[in-house]
Copies of this chain bind each other. A is one copy, B any other.
Amino acid sequence: MAKSAAPSGTRDFLADDLRRRRAAFTTVSDIFERYGFDPLETPAFERLEVLTGKYGEEASQLLFKILRRGVHEASGKPDLALRYDHTVPLARVIGTHGAKLPNPYKRYAIGPVWRADRPQEGRFREFVQCDIDTVGSSSPLADAEVVLALAESLDALGVNRFRFLVNSREALRGLLEVYGVAEENGDGVLATLDKLDKVGAGAVAKELVDERGLDVASAERLAEDVASDDPDLIRSKLATNERGQRGLAQIDSLLELTASLGDRAVFAPRMVRGLDYYTGAIYEVEAEGFPGSIAAGGRYDGLVASLGGPDMPACGGSIGIERILAMQDTGDAPAVGLDVAITVLGGQAELMKLASELRAQGLRVGTYLGSSGKLGKQLQWANAQNARFAVIFGSEEQESGEVTVRDMVSGDQSRVPLAQASAYLRERLER
């Protein structure tokens, strides 16, 4: 059967899984809509030059590139590639449709992206990303809306015990100024500090000296300051640093505007996002039962321009929806069954009419499509379909113009006139 499997790193979604996934996506998109975000769907692939050079060398290796077609196929060269995320397509869309879009443009995207990562446990080559971004606003309200929309989504997805760790790229940069780190050295130093959780303060301090050129005393104190995760300590260090004060104001403003989250949003000086495109408030969400972060985001005012779009302020975040869905896998949601399974022992035309009436009432109805004329076999089928009721229309019933309705849970049976069967079944199902 291996020869017939889905490609490595991809999945077939059968009914139960797919319904659960769709329900989760709808839950999130309904919330994003209430926050005034618009849906956006871009093509599965982009022109190769739109994607090339946007993700760094390592990521570029992970693009699924599409071969040129027709007479050009023999060249062996690609001209398109499957989208790697929703962010580069967003920057491209703003370039393409700028004038038609609302300003600011608040959009969400929930859909598959493709990365040729080495397939491994829980890692896929086709997976759904769930992004929400506001492009064209510098207001701290824009950051707060994103945070609240993410928080409400996590709640609605059943990830209740979470905490937003908030920091600011400007506060971090201010702290580097306090320790005399040169501006052009900042991204590298922050990338090193981002390793605190993995390697500890000692190793970080060593790397700051060896690779980033800090003196030993500064390196050790900087690593300790950040590792302390102590807001008061950081506030006092930044008391006279202008840039740091600006960063603290970003943090305080975001926390004030998301006060409804209570202690589920906190200033966490230790939280350093290594990605160098962030420019203001940043956050990661830690949640009980999930290693690492389950959602993250921040302000990235220069990113849209750097991705080929116009120069506009922007902020946004995303939810690790696949990881949340994977956790839910262990749950045992009941499979969707038939409301009514119609057995077929003759009288097909009458039964199709009954099925139509039941479906018109919104019920999920199946008719027996197998070849057995035995009622027992057909009831086995109804049972396998998780049917709530079965309808039997044997020769006796056909003569008397009735049907037998069987309760597939209790096994009780009742005779009902055919003409009243749909009303009877609806009433039984509404109980």
- Give me the interface of A with B, judged by CB distance under 8 Å: 1, 4-7, 10-15, 18-19, 22, 31, 33-36, 38-47, 50, 61-62, 64-67, 69-70, 73, 75-78, 80, 82, 92-93, 95-97, 100-104, 106-107, 112, 114, 116, 126, 134, 136-142, 144-145, 148, 152, 256-260, 308-309, 336, 338, 344, 348-349, 352-353, 356, 359, 362-371, 384-385
Q: Bound state CA distance, A102 and B15, in angstroms?
A: 10
Given A18-B40, A92-B4, verify A67-B69 contact (CB < 8 Å). no
Q: Are A78 and B82 in contact (CB under 8 A)?
A: no
Partner of A369, one of B11, B67, B69, B137: B137
Assembled-state Cα–Cα distance A160/B20 (Å): 33
Decide if B76 touches A75 in the complex (CB within 8 Å): yes
B362 touches A137 (CB 8 A): no
Residue in chain B with minimal CB distance to A144: B352
A35–B104 contact, CB under 8 A?
A: no
Q: Can you list 19 A-B pairs with a CB-CB distance of less than 8 A?
A: A1-B95, A6-B46, A10-B44, A12-B40, A13-B42, A15-B107, A19-B39, A34-B359, A36-B365, A61-B70, A66-B66, A76-B77, A102-B385, A104-B370, A106-B369, A138-B371, A141-B348, A141-B368, A258-B352
Please determine whether A61 and B69 come into contact, CB atoms closer than 8 angstroms. Answer: yes
Report B-chain residues with C-beta under 8 Å of the C-beta of A384.
102
Given contacts A67-B67, A104-B370, A352-B144, contact A43 B10 (CB under 8 A): yes
Q: In the complex the two chains form, is A96's CB within 8 Å of B6's CB?
A: yes
**Which of B14, B93, B309, B338 sits near A101, CB closer than 8 Å?**
B14
Asked if A5 contacts B352 (CB within 8 A), the reply is no
